Every structure is written in structure tokens, then in C-alpha cells.
Amino acid sequence: MRTVVVTMILLASGHARAEAEIEMGEPANDGYCDYVQGVASAQAAVMFAPTVFGQFGLIEQAAGAANPDIQSGGLRLISGVRVSLDGIYKGLTTRDRARADCRRHKALSQISGETQYIALDARAKVLDAALAETDKILGQTKDDLDARRTTAQEATATRLRVEELRQLATQTHREMGQLPPPSGSIGGALRAFERADADVESYEGKLRRADAFDVSIRVGVDQFLDRSDANPSPYFAVVAIGVNLGVLFQGRANERAAAGRRRLLKSGRDPLTADATGERLRAIIEAETKREQETAALEADLRRQHDALTRLGGEESKRYKQTVWFELIKIRAEHAYLSAHLRAMREVIGDGGGP
């Protein structure tokens, strides 16, 4: 009986943690990458494309014109196309930043979602295999009740235990449906996440630096429409370069931002990436390793009890053997969950899945 009580406590704590972790999971096809890359492409489209400009009206000739004349104004048309070279650079960097953000999201999904899916799948396999046996148990219980070899209360208790296993299996499959299935090897996902996060900050720093530059090319036509002055060529082409001197003071600020981001990520205080730090993952591994050892010992204890009751025989032993069997299945499922989760977590942080 002591073994059964300890088993129930362990199962309750593990199930509560699974429910907490399921909220962190996100489906692999959740649309995040489409969102960030779509936004980046929309922004880059404006940055890449040339700007068409035009002016028409009584426009005074500039005082510093190359060929000033007596008539300084008139009906004038200025039109052309402006291409922003710094805009093209910003557009490319914006798209690179979105791709890095997508890689970061996928790595985070592997860390918090796919590892959980692998563990739940291991639990589901144990429960599904056990449910095939419960049909035989229910049939035997019905026969025993009809033959008055068992009481109605004991038969009801058996049906309740079967229903408990069914509910646990159903909930496990439901949680799996809310998580991304493994999309490939999860080895080194933590390092991939850290690299992608650093890339995001690097591209953001490049965009901040690019704001200090304004490099453009303008080509077009500048023509007075109501004058007969001889104008050998109304066309023009101009390269304009502007530099904000604040760029000279950006270097240290960008370095400080990158260093601060690395510290924030490592501290685990970023609410979006709290479970994606090496320290946090190793703490989970340490805690679950102890629980995995405890469940392994409990499983072995329950299996010995079940085997002993099988050898003993008799109606009383059979009823108690059923009780032990149900507890054995639950603890076996929990042990399978913990073992699979530990292997996946060790693979994520690059420990090779070893003990």
C-alpha cells in the first residue's frame, strides 16, 4: 500500500508539470515564420522600390543655378525617379533579420515543444498497449460478477480504474496534438537558439547603423515649359550622400545592447525565452533524473509484487493483482515519459543523450 501511495504522488506531480509545460508549446506550423517574414517582405518591398517624384507649376529657379539668367522662374516641370541605396541595404537586412527570427522560433519550439512531444509519445505507447489489456480485464470482471465470484463494488472499482487509464491516454494524445511533432534532429537546439538570437540582435544593430546614412540616386527631367530658352538637355542625374554624425557614437551603444541581450538570455528573465537557457534546462534535467530513478525503483517493486501475486493464485490474490497492475501501468507510463524527456533534453543541450 505504501508503494501505491508514493506512486500516486509521483504521478500527480508529473502530470501537473506536463500541464504547465503544454502551455509553452507551440505548433510547428503556427504561422509565426510566415508572419515575421511576410511583414519583413512587405517592408522590404517599399525599401527596394524606386520612388517616382514630380513637381509642376511656377517654380523659381534656384539662386545657385549653374546658368542663372534674367528670367528666374516660369512654368516648370521636374520629375524623375529616386532610388535609395541605403533603403536597398535596409531591405536586405530586414529580411535577414526575419529569417534569423524564424530560426530562433523553430529552435525554441524544439526546446520547449518537441522535447515534450517525444516524452508524451513514450507515455502514450505504454498506455495504448495497456488499454488493449483492459478489454480483457473488463470481460473477465463481468464474467466473475455474473458467476458471483466478485462483488458489484469490486466490479465498479475495476471499471473506474479502466476509465482512469482511458482518460490519461486521451489527455496524453490531446496534449500531443497541441505540440509540434519532431521535425528533424533536435541535437544542439539550444546552441542553435542562442546563435539565432545573437543574429537577430546583430541585424537590428546593422539597421540602427543604417539609419545614419542617406545615399540615393535621382534621375529625371527638369524643363521650363513656357520659355523658349535654348536648353541643350533637360535631363539630370544626381547622386546624393548624407551621413548623420551620430553614427560615430553608435559603436559602443550597439556593443552594449548586444552584451545586454546575451546577459538577459542567459539570466532566463526574458519571459519569452525563460525555459531556453542552459541553466534552466540543466536544472530540469537534474530534477527529472531523480524522479526517473524513483519511478524506476517503484516500477521494479510493483512488477515484483505483480509477479508474486501471479504465482500465488486464488481469487483474493487475483483482485489485488489487478489493483497492482493498474498502478504498475501508470508508473511505467510515467517512467517512460521521464526517460524519453531526459534523453531529448540532453540531446537539446548537446550532451549526446548520455546519463
To the nearest whole percent, how much of the chain has pLDDT over 70? 79
Rounded CA separation 15/22 (Å): 11
| Closest by Cα among 117, 55, 111, 165 to 275 | 111
Residues 6+ apart with CB under 8 A from 79: 52, 53, 54, 55, 56, 220, 221
pLDDT reported for residue 95: 96
The more confidently predicted of residues 152 and 258 is: 258
pLDDT at 4: 42
Cβ atoms of 207 and 94 closer than 8 Å: yes
Alpha carbons within 13 angstroms on the beta-carbon side of residue 164 total 14
Are 278 and 267 in contact by the 8 Å Cβ rule? The answer is no
d(CA 273, CA 265): 7
CB atoms inside a 10 Å sphere around CB 280: 16
For 328-349, the pLDDT digits (tens) are 999 999 999 999 999 988 888 8
H/E element holding 330?
helix 315-348
pLDDT for position 230: 56
Q: What is the DSSP letter of 232?
A: S
Phi/psi of residue 275, each to 5°? -95, 15
**CB–CB of 309/328 below 8 Å?**
no
Sequence length of the chain is: 355
- The C-alpha atoms of residue 241 and residue 239 are separated, in whole angstroms, by 7
- Can you read off the three cell numbers belonging to residue 195? 546563435
Report whether 50 contacts 83 (CB < 8 A): yes
What's the whole-number average pLDDT of the chain?
A: 81
Domain ranges of the chain: 2-61+71-348
3 state SS of 1: coil
Question: Residue 196: what residue type?
Answer: A
Question: In this predicted structure, what is the pLDDT of residue 231?
Answer: 62
In the 8-state DSSP scheme, what is residue 60?
Answer: P
Cα dist from 99 to 89, 145, 178, 201, 270, whole Å: 16, 64, 24, 12, 21
Largest CA distance in the chain: 123
Average of per-residue pLDDT across 11-33: 50
Are the beta carbons of 39 and 98 closer than 8 angstroms?
yes
Residue 355 has pLDDT above 80, yes or no: no
pLDDT single digits (tens) 146-176: 777 667 877 788 888 888 999 999 999 999 8
Tell me what pLDDT residue 228 has: 62
- Express each pLDDT in 73-127 by its tens digit: 678 888 999 999 999 999 999 999 999 999 998 888 888 788 889 999 999 999 9
- C-alpha distances in angstroms, 34 versus 163, 185, 189, 197, 287? 42, 22, 21, 18, 37
Taking only the tens place, the pLDDT of each residue in 263-321 is 888 877 776 666 677 778 888 889 999 999 999 999 999 989 888 887 776 666 677 78
Spatial distance between the Cα atoms of 35 and 99, rounded to a whole number of angstroms = 11
Quick one: which of 235, 175, 149, 157 has its CA closest to 27? 175
pLDDT value at position 348?
A: 83
Q: Which three cell numbers stand for residue 290?
A: 531523480
Run of H or E including 33:
helix 32-48
